[in-house]
């Protein structure tokens, strides 16, 4: 089916369209809200779908928050939702590893949202937060860098503290063919209002 401008439909055609589906999957950042501001009409639209009996799911590849934090944001912006209706990559990463029976540690190149969702399913982790380079590369490689032998997966998302050392650790862990690698998003950049400023999405 090709894209259709809903404003061009008659009332009868619009009713037929709305009756043709029972579930709505909607992206969040840049679709329902920008930063902490809801996009005009978005909350009313999704709440109306729920009122009509549709199942509504908020789908996001933003791994910086937990589902509880997304629910709090939705409530603040006027969206009626529950934790079970939030599908975030931090949560889905934790579910995936739990379903695999994963019992090792995860090295995270990412934010606290991933860590909290992993903790919620009992998965140990390391790597969140600053990890400064305190020596030269030669010393780092020969004596200072200690890899944790219990790490069995690397999860990558948005990391405000990303640096060469974290990249080196992640590459070293994933050099083991048995190490699982998960990327929580493929965004090249975040949508920003600031002119000439590029904020890498990963």
Q: Which of the residues are catalytic?
A: 27, 29
Bridge-based pairing of strands 55-60 and 23-26 is parallel
Closest CA to 109 of 66, 180, 60, 162: 162
What crossing angle do the helices spanning 112-120 and 89-99 adopt, rounded to 10°?
A: 40
Polymer length in residues for the chain: 202
196: which residues sit within 8 A by CB, 6+ positions away? none
């Amino acid at each position: 089916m090709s894209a259709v401008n809903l404003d061009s439909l008659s009332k009868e055609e619009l009713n037929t369209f709305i009756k043709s589906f029972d579930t709505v999957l909607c992206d969040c950042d840049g679709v329902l809200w920008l930063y902490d501001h809801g996009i005009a009409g978005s909350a009313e639209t999704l709440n109306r779908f729920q009122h009509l009996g549709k199942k509504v799911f908020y789908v996001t590849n933003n791994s910086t928050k937990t589902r509880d934090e997304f629910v709090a944001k939705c409530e603040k912006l006027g969206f009626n939702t529950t934790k079970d209706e939030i599908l975030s990559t931090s949560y889905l990463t934790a579910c995936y590893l739990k379903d695999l029976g994963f019992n090792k540690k995860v090295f995270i190149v990412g934010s606290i949202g991933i860590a909290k969702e992993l903790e919620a399913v009992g998965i140990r982790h390391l790597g969140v937060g600053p990890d400064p380079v305190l020596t030269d590369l030669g010393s780092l490689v020969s004596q200072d860098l200690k890899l944790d032998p219990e790490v069995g997966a690397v999860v990558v998302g948005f990391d405000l503290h990303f640096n060469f050392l974290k990249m080196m650790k992640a590459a070293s862990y994933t050099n083991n063919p048995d190490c699982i690698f998960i990327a929580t998003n493929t965004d090249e950049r975040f949508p920003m209002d600031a002119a000439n400023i590029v904020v890498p999405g990963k």
